[in-house]
Structure 1
Amino acid sequence: MKFLYCILFLFFLQVNFAQEVVNFYFDNNKFELNKTEAAKFQKWISENTTSKILSITGSTDEVGTSGFNDTLSQKRVSHVFSQIKGNVNIRPDFKSISLGEKGATSKIKAENRKVIIHYLLEKDLAKENEILGIKEEILVEKVDTIKGDTLENQFKNAKVGDKIIIDTIIFFIASDQITPNSNFALGQLLGVLKNNDLLKIEIQGHICCNPLSKDKKSLKLSVKRAKKIYDFLVENGIEMHRLKYKGFGSSKPIYIIPEANREQERLNRRVEILILEN
């Protein structure tokens, strides 16, 4: 249960030279801070406008279902992020981590209902890369994809066996729910299929960040995400015989896991469209 948290803890332990950490605690089943913690949080914000956020991690106690706790910790992260955004600097590869009850490491339940912020002080920003141990990116798998200025152009240039990456279809953390800002990309994909009756595809889901390529939970989530897109297309008139879906978990990363930055995570956490017939 606490394995993922241990991995994250070890990761931060490796790079925590000159990193700062602050915790904010929540009441039971709440995702907004109470008055005392909110005042503490606002004071921290006012004192850290020149600092830089590295990550925000949310966790819960072990009371309730794991699904409820996953959602609750995600809401806690979102609440804190909404207060910080625009007031404190944030790294472009900032990590938003929702652990749910997997982050429950204390026997005292109240100590597990929290959000943890890792950040750098202004005085340490000059040696930011050194502190974080940022190394040159290493490409571990070449993905044969078709590139173009629009999704339509990418499909026009594609042949059977090619893969097209759609990195603008985004899912909520640890969820198969698609974010509202993905609607444009979904609409483009739907339009391409409606304009080409011969086109048949396989929707492939990939997950980032989890070093266990055979992890069943990771694999299951990638399948559910691929099916979510499949369901959207079917519900909007695309025949089922033209569509397949499959999930690979984190077994086919573009970049070595754990990734070096947020961009590598984004490219690993992707949807690919395999052209079956066109």
Structure 2
Amino acid sequence: MLRKIATVFILFISANLLAQEQMSVFFESNKFQLTKKEENKLNQWILANNNNKIVAIHGFTDEDGTSGFNDTLAQKRVDFIFQIVKDQIKIREDFKTLSFGEKFTQSENKAENRKVTIYYILEKDIPRENEILGIKPEVAVEELPKPEIEYPEKLIFENPNGTKSEFKLDREFMKKVGNAKTGDKLKIENLNFIINTFAVVNESRGKLYELLLVLQSNPQLKIEIQGHLCCMPVDRTDLSTQRAKAIFNFLINNEVYRARLSYKGFGSTQPIYPIPEKNEAERAANRRVEILIVEN
């Protein structure tokens, strides 16, 4: 017959058991309740050790019966002992139960195998409890503050015809995106498109570079670009998606890793103001691109 171990209460490596005090009580065949003699023995031990501390209780059976039956019997024996000692002697709060059933080195004397063994430490050793059990204290890892990134105030590009293009950058917006938390959503202010197209007007191209610089400076940052429209309840040409994709393509073409980006168009299904809007200010608010922080 295969020997099995079913465990009921253990918190430490087996090798450490040798460092503990221990006592055992024994059971009759197929029983999980103690005889009067063994119950008296347990009560006397409790009286003599009520200032000590239990760190584990293990239950065992002989090899008679099936492995499944023995596993259950060992568990019942541990539970029975635990109910007696739990309010009379200290027990570790994170104390776990293990039952070994018949899975252990069996004695030739079957009566010696039908037992529960209590492992405990003496009162004088309680201050060294974790050391004795081989438990190392958790070391708190201090999370260092995210270093402040200095973004440029403007970008200047030389055009093929020899002229220069200058884009003033919104440093506060870039810092806000870079420091945003996962799940945050931020509107890209002043990002405008040529009417009824997904082409960004020249005056707004600096907004694309702001986003590019933030992504380059924060390699862990992942975003979803979300497009929204105003005015019409149905986005028949899927213009909101095309606008979000245009920004996506700009970033991809400037070597931002594709897996960090996604895009989505919502048409006018998520307006800030009800449609039809009352004025141009409301239309402008609904006609927007937002950045969802997927990971930061």
Same fold (TM over 0.5): no
TM-score (norm 1): 0.45
Taking CA–CA contacts closer than 8 Å with sequence separation of 6 or more, which of the two structures ends up with the larger relative contact order? 1
Q: Answer with 1 or 2: which has the greater Rg.
A: 2
TM-score (norm 2): 0.42
Higher helix content, 1 or 2:
1
